[in-house]
């Protein structure tokens, strides 16, 4: 029997209802595979603010430290839009990332064959697409100082954020990207704006240096971020692994997500460094947001979160058999034409969030019977 400590932070909006579908899979694993997760649940984002007056309490942060892995839903919503900046739901997420030092954010954009027509791009452009975006997650303009809004002597206001990277931060994220590329298509595109930003110049130089000293067998290309956005919709299959900073990674991964048909399909893993015990902190979450406009309607797509759970099985727990099974089951129910409304198309069968979860369990039963 395997027991892993899992912290679930369902968050806001559609977070709780999609997390319910993951809970089904967790129960299934316990019943059918004898894999018991020791599940602890906590609050984050607006839900935490409403109960405790803060988007991530010290207690919940400690629980995250103690867990083998954290599974997160989504944070944010109109309801909390007018809170002061440091109390906004998003700050809970950023605090979690920063404190657990989850510097490596892996965002795979894979197009399922069943969904090629759901993409806004032509079939031949996206069919078979498999990109891995490696986004730096604990540095850059998200956390750089100085930051803030100040009032000038003229009475004007001035908003400041700072893009800043050290060589160490660049090298450790590039190392993750090269290492992953070796296990995939052996190609890395490093993305910055070295034409206008010094931090981009440094980024480019350090990535090149690491390549030349440690990964010279991996193909490396440098590309400006604006060009990358354009190339992602022009010819996305030219990419294998994309490595980039926090802000460009945020933007480019939403773009890549849409290539797959819906933001509701994209999972992510945020990983820290390996510690002395060979363990690393890890948070798994969908790339999509809390979608407050469709919350509590049982129509949200749970697949991004289910795939995030699958990434957890793979990256944190080395359970590739179970991860394969879960991913195959998702593929099969898509092949059986089941669709939530975000990926609905003519002739397909529209299902609710709940039905998607239930069908997945039936499929897992079928595949293992």
Active site residues: 142, 193, 226, 250, 254
The structure tokens 């990674």 sit at: 249
CB atoms within 10 A of CB 346: 5
The reply to whether 257 sits near ligand IPM by the rule CB under 6 A is no
Residue whose CB is less far from Mg ion, 193 or 288: 288
- Closest approach, Cβ 363 to ligand IPM, in A, equals 29
Q: x-or-dash pattern for Mg ion, window 202-241, by CB under 5 A?
A: ----------------------------------------
Residue 163's contacts (CB-CB under 8 Å, 6 or more residues apart) are 140, 141, 144, 197, 199, 245, 247
The answer for 85, left when phi > 0, alpha when psi is -120 to 50, beta otherwise, is alpha
Pick from 93, 202, 291, 351: which binds ligand IPM (CB under 6 A)?
93
The reply to whether 250 sits near Mg ion by the rule CB under 5 A is yes
- Verify cis geometry, omega within 30 degrees of 0, for the bond prior to 146: yes
User: By rule CB under 6 A, what count of residues binds ligand IPM?
Assistant: 6
Task: Give the span between the Cα atoms of 338 and 295, in whole angstroms.
Answer: 20
Pick from 12, 68, 136, 250: which binds ligand IPM (CB under 6 A)?
250
The reply to whether 90 sits near ligand IPM by the rule CB under 6 A is yes
- Closest approach, Cβ 182 to ligand IPM, in A, equals 26
Q: Are 24 and 57 in contact (CB under 8 A)?
A: no
Per DSSP, the three-state class of 157 is strand
The reply to whether 245 sits near Mg ion by the rule CB under 5 A is no
Closest CA to 11 of 48, 39, 50, 38: 48
The reply to whether 256 sits near ligand IPM by the rule CB under 6 A is no
CB atoms within 10 A of CB 349: 12
Residue-by-residue DSSP string for 234-248? H-GGG-SEEEE-HHH
- Closest approach, Cβ 13 to Mg ion, in A, equals 14
Residues 44-83 touching ligand IPM, rule: CB under 6 A, are 76
Going from the C-alpha of 46 to that of each of 50, 59, 89, 181, 214, the distances in angstroms are 6, 16, 5, 37, 44
Looking at 20-28, 57-65, 88-96, 294-302, which segment touches ligand IPM (CB under 6 A)?
88-96
Residue whose CB is less far from Mg ion, 8 or 263: 263
Looking at 1-9, 28-36, 87-95, 205-213, which segment touches ligand IPM (CB under 6 A)?
87-95
- Closest approach, Cβ 268 to ligand IPM, in A, equals 7
The reply to whether 12 sits near ligand IPM by the rule CB under 6 A is no
Q: Where does this chain bind ligand IPM (CB under 6 A)?
A: 76, 90, 93-94, 250, 287
Q: Where does this chain bind Mg ion (CB under 5 A)?
A: 250
């Amino acid at each position: 029997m395997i027991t892993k400590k899992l912290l679930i932070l369902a968050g806001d909006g559609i977070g709780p209802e999609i997390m319910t579908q993951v809970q089904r899979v967790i129960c299934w694993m316990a019943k059918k595979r004898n894999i018991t997760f020791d599940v602890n649940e906590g609050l984050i984002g607006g839900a935490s603010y409403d109960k405790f007056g803060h988007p991530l309490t010290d207690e919940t942060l400690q629980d995250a430290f103690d867990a083998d892995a954290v599974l997160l839903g989504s944070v944010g919503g109109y309801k909390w839009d007018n809170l002061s900046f440091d109390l906004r739901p998003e700050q809970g997420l950023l605090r979690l990332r920063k404190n657990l030092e989850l510097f490596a954010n892996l965002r795979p954009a894979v197009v399922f064959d069943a969904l090629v027509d759901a993409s806004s791009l032509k079939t031949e452009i996206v069919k078979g697409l498999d990109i891995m975006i490696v986004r730096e997650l604990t540095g850059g303009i998200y956390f750089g100082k100085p930051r803030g809004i100040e009032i000038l002597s003229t009475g004007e206001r001035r908003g400041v954020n700072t893009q800043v990277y050290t060589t160490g931060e660049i090298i450790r994220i590039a190392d993750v990207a090269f290492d992953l590329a070796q296990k995939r298509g052996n190609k890395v595109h490093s993305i910055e704006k070295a034409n206008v930003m010094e931090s981009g110049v440094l980024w480019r130089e350090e990535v090149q240096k690491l390549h030349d000293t440690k990964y010279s067998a991996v193909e490396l290309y440098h590309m400006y971020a604006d060009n990358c956005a354009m190339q992602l919709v022009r010819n996305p299959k030219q990419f294998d692994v994309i490595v980039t900073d926090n802000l460009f990674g945020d933007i480019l991964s939403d773009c890549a997500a849409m290539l797959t048909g819906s933001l509701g399909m994209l999972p992510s893993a945020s990983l820290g460094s390996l510690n002395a015990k060979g363990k690393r902190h890890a948070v798994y979450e969908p790339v999509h947001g809390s979608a407050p406009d469709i919350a509590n309607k049982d129509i949200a797509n749970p697949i991004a979160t289910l795939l995030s759970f699958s990434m957890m099985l793979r990256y944190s727990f080395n359970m590739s058999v179970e991860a394969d099974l879960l991913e195959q089951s998702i593929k099969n129910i898509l092949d059986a034409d089941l669709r939530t409304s975000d990926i609905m198309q003519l002739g397909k069968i529209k299902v609710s969030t709940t039905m998607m979860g239930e069908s997945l369990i039936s499929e897992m039963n079928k595949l293992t019977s």
